Amino acid sequence: MFLPRFLIFCQPALIILAAAGITQLRKVWLIAPAFAIVILLAVQGIFFVYNHDYDDQRDASGEAVNFILDHSQPGDAILFHIAEARVPYEFFRSLRAGENTASAKFTRPLGPDILFPHFAAGLDYSDFKAKPIPEILRSELPNYSRVWVMFMYNEGGGAGRTTAMFRGLLTQSFPHSDCRDFPKVEVCLYTR
């Protein structure tokens, strides 16, 4: 909690406090060195922030998306266990396509058909408030012989209700599954 990025709102008060302190110096010749010390400490802080990565481990969503795109076949489908997982998928898919794949204007096939979340021609705000509905998924799954699932931030064996619902639905219709783990991402392919 006490990381510099969370305390940025304190910076204006700190600057005012430092300026007030410098102006209280009685000897004029001390003002320049004091100002130089403040600037030196500020620059040191800037270098520290830009040279350190605060995340212990980044997710490997790029690797996971490339794996899906490299191994998918025409007629495959994909589900995202949380709606937000579609955002990195669209980002890395767009990099691969060279254009915005999340746009309604993108029509050429690239990767599996998106089953969930998918409420508009492109990525839409309603996709982010979506909750998977088992009945809708059950009605769509018979149309596919292979279904990909991208689980993100699902550590600990996937104990969440959505994860359990996805796995339960898919194992009923798709007896074979092959999962691959990436840092903070799990990609599973369910086949008949």
Encode the chain (192 residues) as per-residue pLDDT tens digits: 556 667 778 888 988 998 898 888 888 888 889 889 888 988 887 787 777 766 666 788 999 999 999 999 999 999 988 878 888 888 898 888 888 777 777 777 788 988 888 777 777 777 777 777 788 788 888 889 999 999 887 765 545 777 888 888 888 889 899 999 998 889 999 998
28 and 89 share a domain? Answer: no
In a domain, 43, yes or no: yes
If one counts the domains in the chain, the total is 2
Which CATH number do you get for residue 185?
A: 3.40.50
Q: Do 42 and 68 share a domain, yes or no? A: no
Q: Is residue 10 part of a domain?
A: yes
Counting other chains too, the contacts that 89-97 makes at CB distance below 8 Å and 24 or more residues apart are 89/61, 89/65, 89/150, 90/123, 92/61, 92/62, 92/65, 92/66, 93/65, 93/69, 96/65, 96/66, 96/69
| 171 and 96 belong to one structural domain | yes
Identify whether residues 17 and 93 lie together within a single domain: no
Same domain, 128 and 35: no
Query: Does a structural domain hold residue 86?
Result: yes
Domain assignment present for residue 56? The answer is no
Indicate whether 89 and 141 sit together in one domain: yes
Q: Is residue 93 located within the same domain as residue 172?
A: yes
Provide the domain limits for residue 141: 61-191
Is the domain of 66 the same as that of 18? no
> Tokens 């430092």 sit at which residue?
18
Residue 137 lies in a domain: yes
